[in-house]
Amino acid sequence: MVKKADIPKHIIDTAFALAAERGWRDLSLAEIAEAAKVPLSTLYPLFPSKQAIIRGFADQVDATVMAEEDPERSEAPARDRLFDVLMRRFEAMQPQREAIGAILQDQMRDPLSLFCGLSRFKRSMAAMLEVAGFSTSGLRGMIRIEGISAVYLATLRVWLRDESEDMAKTMAALDKQLRRIDDLASRMGGRMAGRGAGQAA
């Protein structure tokens, strides 16, 4: 018997297990409820759509990364802080990597679902920047969110295919992307700076 407080996570885990096994596009909420052994009347108020389940998973990942925040990291160089935060995110998602790949593959065929998930994705990227010590306010914040989104998506493609135990390929790809964006910022007269990096965030 699943405890009431654990039901949302149980539903998300069940949905992602089904996605890894059967794909995401044709999966129904009723099938997820049946597999999770919870009434649809319990599932629906928590997750009225599959997109809501994806948002719930994103909330879990965000919370996991934030819970691991270490104040001592605040004095590290800006690129190191971003690298650390984004790698913690990939580590938090690692158990669901196969399911995430299946969901993304199906959503690429459904532009509406992809568009609906965009704002939630940007919210996660803003959260990762804030955890790393970067302000996401104003125009500069918007530019930072766009930049880190591009870094994350480029690295995500590598992570989905990374079979190494230590995610070495993912780490190398992320480092490469962060160096690239840092070099670009330097050429434009700025730096990828946040708290403790020599420039006000």
CA angle 38–43–8, rounded 5-degree value = 90
pLDDT tens-digit readout, 84-105? 999 999 999 999 999 999 999 9
Q: Is the pLDDT of residue 41 over 70?
A: yes
At residue 75, the pLDDT reads: 75
- Would the CA dihedral through 21, 121, 85, 154 be positive or negative? positive
Mean pLDDT across 115-142: 93
The CATH architecture that domain 50-187 belongs to is Orthogonal Bundle (1.10)
pLDDT score for 184: 63
Q: What sign does the CA torsion over 24, 28, 34, 37 have?
A: positive
Could you tell me the two tokens for 168? Answer: 């070495």
Q: Which two tokens stand for residue 61?
A: 């990942």
**What is the average pLDDT score of the chain?**
89
Q: Provide the pLDDT for residue 57.
A: 98
Q: What is the pLDDT of residue 154?
A: 96
* pLDDT, tens digit (0-9, with 9 covering 90-100), for 51-61: 999 999 999 99
Q: Residue 134: what are its φ and ψ, rounded to 5°?
A: -110, 130
In angstroms, the CA 15 to CA 25 distance is 12
User: pLDDT (tens digit, 9 = 90+) per residue, 131-170?
Assistant: 999 999 999 999 999 999 999 999 999 999 999 989 999 9
> Has this prediction a pTM greater than 0.95?
no
Indicate the burial class of 164 (C-beta count within 10 angstroms; 0-12, 13-18, 19 or more): exposed
**Which residues, 6 or more positions from 57, have their beta carbon under 8 angstroms from its beta carbon?**
12, 16, 96
How far is it, in rounded angstroms, from Cα 197 to Cα 190? 12
